[in-house]
Amino acid sequence: MKKRSPMPPDTKGMRPESLMMSYGYLPELSEGAVKPPIFQTSTFAFKNAQQAKEAFAEAYGLEEPDPLRPLHLIYSRLNNPDLDIVEHRLNLWDRAEESAVFASGMAAISTSILALVPIGSSVVFARPVYGGTDYLLAIILPEMGTVTREFPAGSEPRLVEGMLEELEAAGTPCKMVFFETPANPTTTLTDIAGMAEVAHRHGALCVVDNTLLGPLYQQPLRHGADLVVYSATKYLGGHSDLVAGVVLGCAELMSRVKLYRTILGSMLDPHSAWLLLRSLETAKLRMTCARKNAEKVAAWLAEHPKISKVYFPGFRPSSFQEEIYQRQCSGPGALISFELANSGEAEAFRVLDSVRLIKLAVSLGGTESLIEHPATMTHADIPAESQRKIGITPAMIRLSVGIEHPADLIADLEQALAYLDEAVAPTVGSAQLASAKEDAP
């Protein structure tokens, strides 16, 4: 499908952070409004029957759209101006031909797999991966007749190639190699270019979940990935007030993904698309601040005597990880995991219950810092034995660093870690406990 040009050519050469303010939107089409309105409508009126005929002919692929003609609007499950504008802007960061926004990150992932992986074939995926994705790949897809196999995040491509050869010999050829990099929550990096080369050699697609670094610090399509997916709830949305997902890639693959999105109804709603447009304007500012904060917090954690290990893309534990980082990343992002020394679940809970500024909550990538326990929260659906194999322990804590002052974040962690010296874990809320201590004579 040919792309329509959403803006005059004088924007050529501008950088994404500049184009996030206006690209894809013409104020004269909306009463001169500087910002796009929320097109809160389910259906759109046609000027005449001929226009309606042309719109449906394009929508059902009966004829090629005219790239110079404005987009035909039919029904918000198919298209909506807010979705169209946000997709044009998302294309810029990853240099993608097309993108599609979804009602959630899981909607983006599941719709893409259903669209591109035939039943009876297979998907190979890396562990650890986001808990919802893991459940989809390990439980739901096999129930539907799709074979899935896992490999450890950070594996060398030759290991995955052996798996693909075995699946071909078994009559269930692999159609997709799927992985997060960095992995959630261990932040292990996987070689995008190497995995893409192996996948393509065996007729499979390479799909990368880039949620943890975002397009600012990693652009998988440039390294050979066929599709890149995001939970836009995280850094792209960035304010913990929307749920959304994104898939980006070449026009050929995206046309099929968008067809399935239309039929499955996994489209993002107009209001959330509008919120995402607002968020994209500050994405670089937010992510840059959070990354700088995370670098300081990670360095402090690495020196703390009660921390045995810090997982952060800025700390590469091997020459292989270092080589991958230098080749495909331009920054470490703002997600840190760490393990408490000589501790388990009880000690981890004590720290989680003791933070004051940092919020105890799942998700990541918001302006506020969030802390959680992967083993019993985001990755609780993975059996304990499997958790250990992929590096998730009862003593592991995951921290999404926000845009607060780094000194305040470090002070909050310091006072929370001090509770490990207490004989009994706090039994009241951390803020109340702190207040009581301060008021004591």
The answer to whether 194 touches 156, Cβ cutoff 8 Å, is yes
**Residues 6+ away with beta carbon under 8 Å from 43:** 74, 75, 76
Which helix (H) or strand (E) segment holds residue 178: the answer is strand 174-180
**Closest to 38 in 3D by CA, of 95, 76, 65:** 76
The answer to whether 121 touches 174, Cβ cutoff 8 Å, is yes
Angstrom distance (rounded) from CA 295 to CA 291: 6
Angstrom distance (rounded) from CA 212 to CA 285: 16
Please name the residue that has the structure tokens 């009876």: 120
Look at strands 98-102 and 245-249 and give their pairing: antiparallel
Angle made by CA atoms 296, 301, 302, in degrees to the nearest 5: 100
The answer to whether 65 touches 59, Cβ cutoff 8 Å, is no
DSSP 8-class letter at 221 = G
**Closest to 287 in 3D by CA, of 198, 213, 359, 371:** 213
The answer to whether 154 touches 195, Cβ cutoff 8 Å, is no
**Residues 6+ away with beta carbon under 8 Å from 189:** 153, 154, 181, 182, 183, 313, 316, 321, 324, 325, 328, 329
**Closest to 277 in 3D by CA, of 74, 30, 12:** 30
In our burial notation (b when 16+ CB lie closer than 10 A, e otherwise), range 347-359 reads: bbbbbbbbbbbbb
Angle made by CA atoms 221, 378, 434, in degrees to the nearest 5: 120
The answer to whether 121 touches 162, Cβ cutoff 8 Å, is no
Neighbours of 428 (CB within 10 A): 11
**Closest to 220 in 3D by CA, of 258, 256, 178:** 178
- Which residues are annotated as catalytic? 77, 130, 209, 234
Main-chain dihedrals φ then ψ at residue 401, nearest 5 degrees = -85, 130
Measured over all CA atoms, what is the biggest interatomic distance in the chain, rounded to whole angstroms? 82
